[in-house]
Chains A and B, each alone.
Chain A
Amino acid sequence: MQRRTITVSGIVQGVGFRPFVYSLASQLKLVGFVQNRSGQVSIEAEGSLTALDHFTEQLRSKAPALARIDRLSSHSIPVRHENHFQILASETTLAADVFVSPDMAMCADCRRELFDPADRRYRYPFLNCTQCGPRLTIIHRAPYDRVNTTMAAFEMCAACRAEYENPMDRRFHAQPIACPACGPRLQLLDEIAVPIESADPLASFVAEIKQGKIGALKGIGGYHLVCLANDDAVVNRLRQRKHRQQKPFAIMVRDCTQAAKWCRIDAAEQQRLLSPQRPIVCLRKRNEAVGISDAIAPGNAFLGVMLPYSPLHELLLDCVGDDPLVMTSGNRSDEPIAYQDADAAERLRGIADRFLVHDRPIRVRCDDSVTRVIAGRESPIRRSRGAAPMPITLPFHCPQPVLAVGGQRKNVFALATGTHAFLSHHIGDLDDLSALDSFQRDIGLYEQLFGITPRVLVHDLHPDYASTSYAIQRAKRESLLAFAIQHHHSHLASCMAEHGIESDVIGVVFDGSGFGGDEAVWGGEFLIGGYRSFKRAAHLRPVRLPGGDKATKEPWRVALSYLTMASCDAEGWRSGIDQAIGPNAVRIVQQMIDRGFNSPWTSSAGRLFDAVAAITGVRQTVHFEGQAAMELETLALQSDCAQTYALNMTDPVDTRPLIRGVVADCKNKVDTTLIARRFHNTLAAITVQTCIQLAKSASIDRIVLSGGVFMNTLLATLISEQLEAKGLNVFTHQRVPANDGGIALGQLAIAAHALQSGNIALKSR
C-alpha cells in the first residue's frame, strides 16, 4: 500500500480531466482525491504499487482528447487509509496558470446525441461538452467560468445544472452547457436583418440556399456567407456583391467521401480534415471536378475544403445533403470577418438574402484556420480557430514577460512567459480599423487570460506598420523596453523556434517585402545566423519596384523592371502591354524605373514570381495577394520537366540569365506550363546552389525555409528534396505559417533570447 501526490499541469482544466481521473482511479480501485488547484490538477492516490504505476502511466496515455499534459510530477507521501476516491471542490484559481482551450469541433459523443431522436438535445444546434464547443471565442476574461463568458446571460435549466454539477457527467463544468430549454436559439432574418417568423429557421434558411440564394450564417468565430458551390450563377453573384473578383472561396462538405469527389486526399490530409481543429485544408483539385463551380477557385490547382465543425454546421449539411456549400468569410472584399450582430447586419446588407443567426454573442473574432500538407508534413497558412490560443513551447526560457506585436498584414501577436508562447488568433490587416481594434482589445484579453503583463515589447523594423506604432507608443506610455527586429530575421527565428533549434542556421527567407533598414526592400534573402544576430549572406539581385506597393498589384510593372535589368527587348510582350495597359502608363513606369522615382530597390522573391507571371502572359494585374504566383504554380504542376534555365555560376543569385531564358522561351512560343516549370526549377536551383555554397563556407548544415513564398508547394518541395539529397537538414514551418502570420513567434524568440543572454541592446531603439 502506497500513497502518492501527483501534480499535473498543462491544459487540464475545463477539458473533463477530473471526471477522467475519477473514473480511472475507480477502475484501479484507488482511494484519494482530485482537485483543481491554481491551474494545475492535484491528485492524491492510494493503492497497490502496480495500480499506482498503471494510474500514473494512464493519466498520460488515456487523457481526454482536449487535454495537454505539459508536466506531471509525483512523489510518495504517508498513507491515510481512506474509503473512496472523490472530486474535491476547486481552489480559487489564478488566471496565470489556466490555459484557455481553443474552440473545438463537435465531438463524437455530442454528434451521437445530436442525431438521436430520443436525446433531449436532438437536433439542438448549440450542444457541447467538456470535449468540444466554443472556448476562446466566448470568453470575456479569465478565469474560464460561465460567468466570464458570453453564456453568462443564459440561465441553466435544472437538467443542465444537474449535468454541470455531476462529476461523473461528461458535461461536468462544461461552461457553455446548453439545451433547447435554456440555451441559445436560432433566428432567421430577412435581407435587411429583420426577424422572420419561422417554425424551423434552419429548414427555411436551407430552402432559400437551395433556391440559389446567398445566406449569412453566424458561426463560432464570426459570420460566414453561404451558397451552393455547384451553381455558377450564385457563386458569381456572391463574388460581385462581396467585391471579391477572383480570390478562391472555401467550401464545406459533409464528410471526406464528399470531399474526395473533387479533390485528391491523402492520409495526412484526411487526418487534418477530421482533426478537432477542423481547419480549411487546401487540397489538390481533381482534373475533372464535376459538380463544383469553376468560379470557386479560378486558375487554382487547389481547393480549400473544410468539414462541419459546429453542431449548427452538421445540421446545415444534413439538411442540404450532398451539395457542397461555399463557406466564405462574412465581409466585403478584404475587411475583417463580421462577428458582432449589429455590425454584420450592416456590413452584410446587400450581400446576404437571408441571415441565420443566434443569440450567443461572439466575443473574439476568430477566422477559420487554413492549412495544407506538403510531402506528408503540415504547412499552415493561417493558424487561428482551433489552434489559438494553444501555446507553442519555446526552446528556452523567456526570463521576462514579452509581447511581440507581429507585422502589418496577416497580423498575429504573441505573448511569452517561461517557455510558453501564446500566439493569437489571426487578427488580419491592421490597415483596417476593426482589425486594429481587435488587435488592441485582444492583446488586452490575452494579457488578462494568461496573467502576463509584458515588460518588453518587440516589433518590426518597419516604421509604418500599425503594430510598430502601437509598440512604440505603449512603451513610451508604460515605460517599457521596446525594440525592433528586422522582418526577415523574425521569419528565420520563427522557423528555428518551432523546431527548437538553438545554434546558427542558414535561413532562406523568400517573401513579398520587408523593411531592410537600408532604404532597400528585402524579400529574397539568404541569412546566416540565429536568434542573437544574423548576417545577410546573399540575396536575389535587386530590381526597381516602380510605384512601391502599387507594383505588388500590377506584376507588369515588376516585369518591366526585370526586363530592363536583364537588358531584354521582349518586343512582343511590350507591344502586348502597350495595348492592355496603355502606352502612356508603360512609358511613365519605364521612366520611373530609369530615374528611380518612387521605385525602391527590392530583392523580393515574391516579385520575381510576379515578373515571370507577367512576362509569360499569365497575368499583368492581380486581384489578391499571391495570385500571380499561385497561377504560375498551377501551370508548373502540369509539367514534370526537370530542366532549368542557365545559371550564373559565379553569382548564383543573379536572376538575369533566368529572365533571358523565360523571354527566349516566350519568343519561341514554348508552352506556358513548361516555362512555369522551368522557372520553378531554376529558382530552386538558384536557392540550392547558394545554400550549398553558404553551408560549405559557414560549416552549417541546417537550412530553414521561411517567408510567404514558401506557401508554394512545388518550390518548397523541390528545394527541400534537393538540399536533403545533398545531406543538408531542411526545416520548414509546421506549426505556424511561413508567411507573416508566423513572425510574432520569431520576434518573441529573438527577444527572449536577447533578454536571457543580457543582450537586450540588440537593435534596441
Chain B
Amino acid sequence: MKQTNMPNSDQVSDVISNASGEPFNGTRLPNKAGVGLKSAHYTDILTGWPDLGFFEVHPENYMSAGGPPHHYLTKIRENYALSLHGVGLSIGGAQPPNPEHLGRVKALVDRYQPESFSEHLAWSSHEMGYFNDLLPLPLTKETLASVIEHVDLIQTTLNQRLLLENPSTYVTFKESDFEEVDFLNQVATRTGCGLLLDVNNVYVSCTNHERDAQGYINNFPMHHVGEIHLGGHAPDKDDLGNPLLIDAHDRKVEDAVWALYEQTILKTGSKPTLVEWDNDIPTWDVLYKEAERAQSILDRQRAAA
C-alpha cells in the first residue's frame, strides 16, 4: 500500500459508487483496510494523507460543543470514508437506549453523515450509571426481544442501518436459549440490521469458553456482515489456570487472529476491515503497518478470486 501525499477528493464518492454495485450490508464503507482514529495521530494523518479505506471513531469522543476533536475529524472526514462505532447505547441492557444519548449520536450522524454506524451486543449503562465497559448478557428469548426492540429504535431514530458487533466475553450465563451466532442472526433477520464480525472477539471468546473459533466463523451469517474488526488481546489465566484472553486493544493483532481473518476473507470475499488499537497507542507507522497487513490479505483474496 503506497502513501499518497495529497488528499484524494474522489475517494469518498468512488467508494459509494463502488459499493452500490455490490450487495448492501448496512455499510457504504469501501472493502479496504481502515484504522481507529486516535488524537495522537491527527498530525501524521493530515501531513501524510495515508492510503486507507476509512477511519473509525467512537461518537462518544466527539460529543463536545467544539475544540480540536471536531476540527480534525472534519478535515479527515472530507477526505476519507467514516465509520461511527458507538460504545454507549447499551443495546444489550433491559432498559431502552438513553434518549438523550441517542439524540447526541443522531446529531453526530447528521453532522458527519458516516458511511457506517455500528454498536455492540453488550450493555454499558444501568440504573446507577455508565460503566465504561462492554458488559455481557445472557442470550435468552427475553434479551433477544429487548435487543430487537432497541435495534429497531436506534435504526428508526438515526434513519441509518446499524451493524451489531459480536462481543468478547469472559463469563457465560447458566440460562441460555441461543448460541451467539444464532442470536445475532435472529437480530439481523428480524430488524434488518447488519453485523460487524470482530474476528479477534471470536478468537478471544472461543478460547475463553473452549469453543471452536473456526466453527463459529463457518456458521456466521456472512451475508449480513458489513465490516470486520481486528485488534490485539492480552493473555491471562482463569481460576483453574485455563487460558483467559482479554480484549485489550493494546498491542498488535496475534498471528492466530490473522490466520482466522484470512480464512474468513477467503470465504466471504473482501470486507471493510478495521484495525483497533485503543490503549498503549503506538506511533502512526506501527498502526499503519497493521492496516497494510490487513490490506495485503484483502488484495490476495481479490487476486485469487
Bound together: no
Q: Which residues of A contact B (CB under 8 A)?
A: none
Q: Which residues of B contact A (CB under 8 A)?
A: none
